[in-house]
Structure 1
Amino acid sequence: MILTKGQKIDVTKGRGISDVVIGLSWQTADAAIDINASAFLLNQAGVCAQDEDMIFYNQPFSRQHAVTHAGPVNGDQEHIKISVGKVPSDIHKIAVTLTIHEGELHGQAFSQVRGAVGRIYNPINGEEIGRFNFGEGLSIETAIVVGEFYLHKGEWKFNAVGSGFEGGLADLVRNFGLKVSSESHVEAAAAAEPAAVPAKPSQLLKVELKKKESINIQKSAKVTATLEWQTDRDLDLYCFYVTKDREVGKVYYRNLGSKHIAPYIQLDGDAMGQGKETIVIHRPEALSFVLFAAYSAISNGSGSFRSMEVRAVVENHQGHTVTAPLLEENNYAYWVAIVHIDFTDAKQMRVSHVEKYSNDGVERSPLLYEKGDFKMDVGPEEFKDDWD
């Protein structure tokens, strides 16, 4: 089974297996890039309670040898093995990660890595349970949370995460509730001797917003917003923006934007069918507000955005993911505003579920104004058709 980001699958249910392995492989153009796998055994609070709960090349065995780390096996560069019957009772989740050793020091990042794959399989009979192609869309990140094995009603499942961090292994160590032994050389300290001192972690945060709900998450150097849907209809992701200089505009399929030119927002292209479209904000500090909206082409005919299972997913590349699903039935709207982000605070950004539809049959787009408010049905008409 090929997994997509955010997808969850059963691992042990119905299989009766005692061991499961995730084999990790990748390609780099530069042989000097040193990539290493780690695993964090997390309690119910989502943190490591002691140093034996972090597994990496200098500490390859967890408590009770429940989780082990090894190098090349069966064509994979590294692998993490979980003996499910040995996992301590206080462990509810196991996060599997990859980091670039001293990536920040050497100017290396996961943008230089291609073909990153995680294979989940039964080591006894070789049955492949799932395969996750992760790492797409990363740039300056030096660490990835590949995925999480977690307990659900007594069975182990896997969640394909694929979220990047910029701080390497040391940042992950702190994220999962441990302190590195030397803040002056955090990367080396994390690799050599993680000290099991409980810290206040930033933690992986995954939230699905309810109707008109908002949440503050950590402001970061890059933000990604993805529009996802489950039909073969042609939907388009729009990013309406207001810059710190009060410039107002939009990035969409006719203006894909650029990571090098203000407002430093870039769309990955027009999906022209089932799947997803992604917008990357490369310099959030240059913005005051953004509004993410979806447009359904006239050629789609009438239909509900909700029936297409439309959702917007916002990531800050620091382990925080916010999902905004559509919750209302609306059969005749061409537009829906989904997520609003307020960047005006220096340390955090406010992500809001707005879900507001255009009037029936109205083709005029939304508009975002200088002060961050927006209105439906007041912008230019699109009339996208099959010739676009």
Structure 2
Amino acid sequence: MQLSRGQKLPVRELIPNGSVFITIDYYPTDIDIAAFSLDKDRKIKDDRYTILFSNQQSPDNSITLNLQTGKAIFTIDIDRLPTTIERIIFTATHDIHAIGKAKKLDVSVGQQAAIYNAKEGLTTEKAVMMIELYRYHDTWRLGAIGQGFDGGLAALITHFGGEIASPTSTSTSPPSPSSSPTPPGLNLNKITLEQKQSISLTKTTPTFGEIKVNLNWSRGSSARKGFFGKISSNKAIDLDLGCLYVLKNGEKSVVQALGKRFGDLNKKPYIKLLGDDRTGDIDSGETLLINGKFFDEIERIAIFAYIYDGVPNWNETNGVVTLTVPDQPPLEVRMTEGHNNRTMCGIALIDNVNGQMKVSRLVEYFKDHEEFANSVHIFLKWVGARKD
């Protein structure tokens, strides 16, 4: 069933029993997806029931979020929700660009029992309320809202009467989740690691879940602009993301497009590179996934970027790497100290320190892979390779 804006119908007509699954497929991948649990006054009563990248499950697990690259899957046990929750509104926001310009923003309910194109009819809005689940007498109903307004995620939280937490300190590990029923607010902060800075992340669940390392950059300074205003040029810099790794059993190697060593997510090395952006035109850049279920088998991961084709010009790439770990504030590393006579940039180290994830900023430049690998004590035998 294709939903239209304003349409409403009983949830149990779509999903006769069990939990309700709401899946949002979106592109580009830096759109923020959230679910706001509201009271009868359409306000946030308990921040713990606002589900987003920094809070992926409610305290009673009646609402959970499985956040993947370009996909958000919500599981809602409507029979276990607190009686104070009258509705749940599912939203999409972007702090810079209009949501209506997104290439994809599709909502499906259950096994595609209902489908809704959430960006249809939007113009300049940076936030959209896509659909809602709401109580109607003794039943739950589904409504397609499709209404937006200017302002990003922070503005949306304020609209619903929520509070935003103060910035997280970068000198220590993020605090453990509080058992208090009234936490200080929702953490929307991205931590930017500065020179030689490290931060340790502790598991908040039995595993770290799916860890995403994303590299994005600008191609240069020519006249053409693409989707979301990204600057591109005819002389593109082919900037590639990759990593060196060492497993606990001593196995070590590289994951990169060069030599088509894309890795594997579900078996060793538990790291996978998702494709290769040869042009810089893909707005989501390049992404490495790390299967956090097997983090205990990983000793060290060394993240790097290298210029495969084009004249080295790091100062014009505006490169930024974002590390996203479920239930943790995103970590950013900006590649700001460019050396234009070198094609390799060592960006960050991810170390397993007694089960904790220690992330350290490097941003150091090298002449080739071997020089970088030796600097982080991952000694390999190197041979020449190409992507073609």
Q: TM-score, normalised by structure 1?
A: 0.52
1:290 is aligned to 301
Contact 1:100/1:109, CA 8 A, preserved across alignment = no
Alignment counterpart, residue 125 of structure 2, candidates 103, 116, 129? 129
Contact 2:66 2:72 in 1 (8 A): yes
In the alignment, the residues of structure 2 paired with residue 106 and residue 178 of structure 1 have an alpha-carbon distance, to the nearest angstrom, of 17
| Cα pair 2:323 2:331 within 8 Å, conserved | yes
Specify the alignment match of 2:224 in structure 1. Answer: none
Which residue of structure 1 lines up, in the alignment, with residue 212 of structure 2?
224
- Counterpart Cα distance in 2 of 1:33 and 1:233: 47
Residue 214 (1) aligns with residue 214 (2): no
2:42 is the alignment partner of 1:61: yes
Aligned CA-pair RMSD: 4.8
CA distance in 2, matches of 1:133, 1:287: 40
Shift of 1:354: 0.7
Counterpart selection for 1:234 from 231, 238, 250: 238
Partner of 1:256: 262
> Counterpart of 1:285 in 2: which secondary structure?
helix
Distance 1:133 1:367, change over 3 A: farther
Aligned to 1:149: 154
Distance between the aligned counterparts of 1:315 and 1:363, measured in 2? Answer: 25
Aligned counterpart, 1:316: 325
**Separation (CA, whole Å) in 2 of partners of 1:97 and 1:108:** 7
| SS of structure 2 residue aligned to 1:266 | strand
Name the counterpart of 1:82. none
Q: Does the Cα contact within 8 Å between 2:217 and 2:318 map onto a contact in 1?
A: yes
SS of the residue corresponding to residue 284 of structure 1 reads helix
Q: Compared with structure 1, are the counterparts of its residues 240 and 150 closer, same or farther at alpha carbon in structure 2 (3 Å cutoff)? A: same
Partner SS for 1:271: coil
Change (3 A) 1:326 1:383: same
The residue number in structure 2 matching 1:354 is 362
Give the drift of 1:321: 1.0
Q: State the 1:244 CA deviation.
A: 1.1
1:118 to 92, 101, 105: 92
Write out aligned runs for 1:174-185 (5 A): 179=180
Conserved 8 A contact 1:324-1:338: yes
Counterpart-to-counterpart distance in 2, 1:315 and 1:248: 23
Given that 1:36 and 1:100 are in contact with CA atoms closer than 8 Å, whether structure 2 keeps it comes out as: no
What amino acid does structure 2 have at the position aligned with 1:128? T
How far apart, in 2, do the equivalents of 1:317 and 1:107 lie?
Answer: 12
- SS of corresponding position for 1:320: coil
Instruction: Write out per-residue CA displacement over residues 25-51 of structure 1, whole angstroms, 9 at most, x where no aligned residue.
Output: xxxxx94552589xxxxxxxxxxxxxx
Which residue of 266, 279, 283 corresponds with 2:272? 266
Partner Cα separation in structure 1 for residue 323 and residue 295 of structure 2: 13
Write out aligned runs for 1:11-160 (5 A): 31=15, 33-34=19-20, 56-62=37-43, 97=52, 109=66, 118=92, 128-130=124-126, 148-150=153-155
- Cα offset for 1:355? 1.3
Question: CA distance change for structure 1 residues 33 and 295 in 2, over 3 Å: closer, same or farther?
Answer: farther
User: Structure 1 pair 229/36, CA: closer, same or farther in 2 (3 Å)?
Assistant: same
Structure 1 318/108 Cα, relative in aligned 2: closer, same or farther at 3 Å? closer
Map Cα deviations across residues 137-188 of structure 1 (whole Å, 9 max, x no partner): xxxxxxxxxx62159xxxxxxxxxxxxxxxxxxxxxx95x663xxxxxxxxx
Deviations 1:257-277 (A, max 9, x none): 112211211111111111411
Quick one: structure 1 residues 97 and 292, their matched pair in 2 at CA, closer, same or farther if it must change by over 3 Å?
A: closer
Taking the aligned partners of 1:349 and 1:324, their CA distance within structure 2 comes to 16
Counterparts of 2:340 and 2:322, CA distance in 1: 23
SS at match of 2:316: helix
Corresponding residue number in structure 2 for 1:380: 382
Matched residue type, 1:207: I
Retained in 2: the 8 A contact 1:338–1:356? yes
SS state at 1:129 partner? coil
Q: Is the 8 A contact 1:213 1:352 kept in 2?
A: yes
Counterpart position of 2:372? 366
Query: Which residue number corresponds to residue 182 of structure 1?
Result: none
On the 8 A contact 1:311/1:326 being kept in 2, the answer is yes
Contact 1:244 1:287 in 2 (8 A): yes
Contact residue 244 and residue 255 of structure 2 kept, 8 A: yes
Unmatched segments (≥5 aa) in structure 1: 1-29, 38-53, 69-94, 135-146, 152-173, 180-194
Q: What is the deviation of 1:324?
A: 0.7
Per the normalisation by structure 2, the TM-score is 0.52
Matched residues, percent identical?
Answer: 18
Deviation at 1:221, TM superposition (A): 2.9
Give the aligned partner of residue 49 of structure 1: none
Equivalent pair of 1:236/1:270 in contact (CA under 8 Å): yes
Other-structure match for 1:72: none
Instruction: Please give the alpha-carbon distance, in whole angstroms, between the structure 1 residues aligned to 2:191 and 2:307.
Output: 26
Deviation readout 1:213-242 (Å, 9 max, x if unpaired)? 111223423321111111142111111101
Cα distance in structure 1, aligned partners of 2:369 and 2:215: 20
Query: For residues 233 and 133 of structure 1, what CA distance do their matches in structure 2 show?
Result: 38
Q: SS at the partner of 1:343?
A: strand
1:338 to 2:351 alignment:
no
